[in-house]
Amino acid sequence: MRRRQFVALACGACIAWPLVVSARQPDGVHRVGILIAGSPPDPLTGLLRRNLRDLGYAEGQNVAFEVRYAMDRTDRARELARELVGLNVDIIVAHFTPAAIAAKEATGTIPIVMSLVGAPVENGLVESLARPGGNITGISALGAELAGKRLELLR
């Protein structure tokens, strides 16, 4: 039985090792791109930093943030999304719908986490709320999506 456990452990390590190596930057620092459709200050960015710190990610040691503000300009959001992709960030956090759309247009491979996005299905960000598909996930404001259910509950 010991031999089987050893072989299983060794095989698991061989399969997992490339995933572990590819998930880290050469310097061991995860690069988080944050794209905000609006202008500073943005309280969500502070919350993200604090929560990651609580999980053991120390800015300057094992995580670096690349924060970009589109200043409510769609063309600027697209430009900044391409810039983050060019910086080879590990993940893009996109606050608000224009930022999420710009990030999705800029990359099909870097994971994107959207927050406070309206109508993600209708805007072509995800295939469905249950199964987003692709490289994007996150939370939605769900106002329009829930209107029918709210009306149904009222009846």
For residue 79, the domain's CATH number is 3.40.50.2300
Predicted pLDDT at 25: 53
DSSP for 4-17, written as a single string? HHHHHHHHHHHHHH
Among residues 119, 113, 117, which one has the least CA distance to residue 137?
113
Q: What percent of the chain has pLDDT over 70?
A: 76
DSSP for 79-100, written as a single string? HHHHHHHHTT-SEEEEESHHHH
Q: Is 71 among the domain residues?
A: yes
Q: Is 10 among the domain residues?
A: no
Give the H/E segment covering residue 49: helix 43-54
**Residue-wise pLDDT tens digits, 80-102:** 999 999 999 999 999 999 999 99
**Domain enclosing residue 138, as ranges:** 27-154
Q: Is 7 among the domain residues?
A: no
Predicted pLDDT at 67: 96
Total domains present in the chain? 1
**Residue-wise pLDDT tens digits, 112-155:** 999 888 888 888 899 888 888 899 998 877 666 566 767 777 77
Q: What percent of the chain has pLDDT over 90?
A: 46
Q: Is 80 among the domain residues?
A: yes
Q: Is 142 among the domain residues?
A: yes
Record the tokens describing residue 30, joined without a space: 């995860």
Q: Is 47 among the domain residues?
A: yes
**Residue 139: CB partners within 8 Å, gap ≥ 6?**
114, 115, 116, 117
